[in-house]
Structure 1
């Protein structure tokens, strides 16, 4: 079944299936199901059209999928452009939240886009 341009599995519970959408975790999916009075363990294939339309309408109120990815990348680009320390760390592809880099963060230090 497609909701907001994303395929979600039919054979799983609705609150688990909603987590397949980027930007929706378990807590937000539980909140959505409780707000719409939809039984959490109801399978997606058992939903009727009215419930599906209610879910689509509720999801349109949140920033999800491509718009969320675009916002995140724009925020990182803004940090790089204004020259902050976090922007510098993002540009160098290093951890920017205070983690040590002498012994850890080996994967961050590896060259990105290696050609074999």
Structure 2
């Protein structure tokens, strides 16, 4: 099992897709990292040698992206700042409502949670 930046990469996946399990790395960044580390894109995570793993680790350290804990902390501090200045987006975050203008009357179930029926609502 390969472990990079505190994340276990899934077994038996192509290395490009396995790298996307690291928070902050998408498919485009993963392809670039694999190319710069001079690893075949068809290689599976189970088939990585120690030298290839070290090359991946070095490439991840050299890239100028915020990854894993740093990125999570950065996003958390941004949301905390919005809450503290009491702006509209901060209020929406605080009340667990959609932040970017989506409708909430009928949708937004993933953000608001499951339905809570109100009893005794007769006309």
Superposition TM-score, scaled by structure 2 size: 0.79
Hey, what does 1:114 align to over in structure 2? none
Match of 1:79 among 78, 82, 86: 82
Hey, what does 1:5 align to over in structure 2? 6
**In the alignment, is the contact (CA less than 8 A) between 2:36 and 2:59 conserved in 1?**
no
Segments of structure 1 that go 5 or more residues without pairing to the other structure are 112-116
State how far apart, in whole Å, the 2-side matches of 1:59 and 1:67 are.
Answer: 13
Hey, what does 2:72 align to over in structure 1? 69
Hey, what does 2:44 align to over in structure 1? 43
1:109 aligns with 2:112: yes
Alpha-carbon offset, residue 72 of structure 1: 0.8
Q: RMSD value over aligned CA atoms?
A: 1.7
Which protein has the larger Cα radius of gyration, Structure 1 or Structure 2?
2
Hey, what does 1:15 align to over in structure 2? 16
Alpha-carbon offset, residue 76 of structure 1: 0.3
Seen in structure 2, the aligned counterparts of structure 1 residues 10 and 101 have a Cα distance that, compared at 3 Å, is closer
Segments of structure 2 that go 5 or more residues without pairing to the other structure are 115-123
Hey, what does 1:59 align to over in structure 2? 60
Q: What is the total number of aligned residue pairs between the two structures?
A: 111
CA deviations 1:3-45 (Å, max 9, x no partner) are 2221112322111111121221212111111222211111223
Seen in structure 2, the aligned counterparts of structure 1 residues 110 and 4 have a Cα distance that, compared at 3 Å, is closer
